[in-house]
Amino acid sequence: MPITHLGHAELLVTDLAASRAFFVDIMGLQVSEEREGTVFLRAWQDWDHHTLQLTEAPESGLAHLGWRVPKKADADEIRASLEAKGITVDERAGADNEGHGDSYRFTTPGGLPFELYWEVEYYVATGDQVSRMASHPSRIPLKGAAPRRFDHVTFIVNDVVAEQEFLTDVLGIRHNYFVCGPDGDRWGSWLSCNNVSHETAVTRNAAGTGGLLHHVAYYADTVDEVTKAASILVDHGFELEWGPGKHGTSGATFLYFREPSGNRVEIWTGGMLIFDPDWKAIEWGPEIGHLGNSMWGTPLPESFREGTALGEPEKVA
């Protein structure tokens, strides 16, 4: 697969100060850089300059999702495949990007704003952020939920099958498992470029209103850390949207909630690993699809069908 892993997400937020405070104080992420209207953050074992960018905007959502490829030739190969499908690819110079070099941006048929990049700026800790552990790019934070790393981003699309096939056939992202509803239609597909259970997913927009961001997720080490995050959120006045619970599909323990600007966030742990080079996507059929979503039967809230916008609206001046 030319794409090696999911790299970063740019979230659009309507209240930058409140969202920044949430991700730093409640989530326990670390600020790697900030300037007027934008903050760059990372979890303590994220090696790159950032995995999350918060940009102030009139509407909340996702401006773009970055994917790492090993070298420019790999990005060029994907670009040729995209253009053969009639998809416009925009070049961005490294001077216009933060944390990485030149890149290609494009929008998938389902409306997902993606970026490919191949040269990376790594985070370099200074001062009291320097860890004694050689395998830690920075110290473990003393506040907030403090997840280990950036994990995945999930979307809502009109046509799950068509979007999954595009992600797999054109971008080379492996299809790992899918869930079907009582009517037999596919509710969602989960995909990854490496051995994790998923780095992205597409779920069905029953209203047919187009692509939306569903959630961004960070990975915690243990179930105890997930439940501690739930307690931190509630104690500081935030509502839990769904969970703690367990997904049957991946085997992961989950917790979903909203940050102050309305974007959905997940902290989760566990999840199967895939090493088989001949892997075939697992089907969770209509009779067990509900267990794939919620193994323990934790009720799915109606609000879970909602999402926030995709694409880059005018930034707040």
Give residue 298's pLDDT: 87
> Model confidence over 67-101: pLDDT tens digits?
999 999 999 999 999 999 999 999 999 888 999 99
Which is more confidently placed, 299 or 89?
Answer: 89
114: tokens are 């993606």
Candidates 3.40.50.1820, 3.20.20.70, 3.10.180.10, 3.40.309.10; correct CATH number of 149-310?
Answer: 3.10.180.10
Give residue 119's pLDDT: 96
Average pLDDT over residues 188-192: 98
* Mean pLDDT, the chain, whole residue set: 96
The C-alpha atoms of residue 193 and residue 168 are separated, in whole angstroms, by 10
The C-alpha atoms of residue 23 and residue 42 are separated, in whole angstroms, by 10
Average pLDDT over residues 35-41: 96
Average pLDDT over residues 208-232: 98
Question: Hey, where are the domains in the chain?
Answer: 5-129, 149-310
Domain 5-129 in CATH 3.10.129.10? no
Q: Reply yes or no on whether the pLDDT at 214 is more than 90.
A: yes
Average pLDDT over residues 107-115: 98
Q: Which of 57-61, 92-96, 123-127 has the lowest mean pLDDT?
A: 92-96
Confidence of residue 264 (pLDDT cuts 50, 70, 90): very high
The C-alpha atoms of residue 120 and residue 294 are separated, in whole angstroms, by 37
pTM of the model: 0.96
Give residue 209's pLDDT: 94
Average pLDDT over residues 109-125: 97
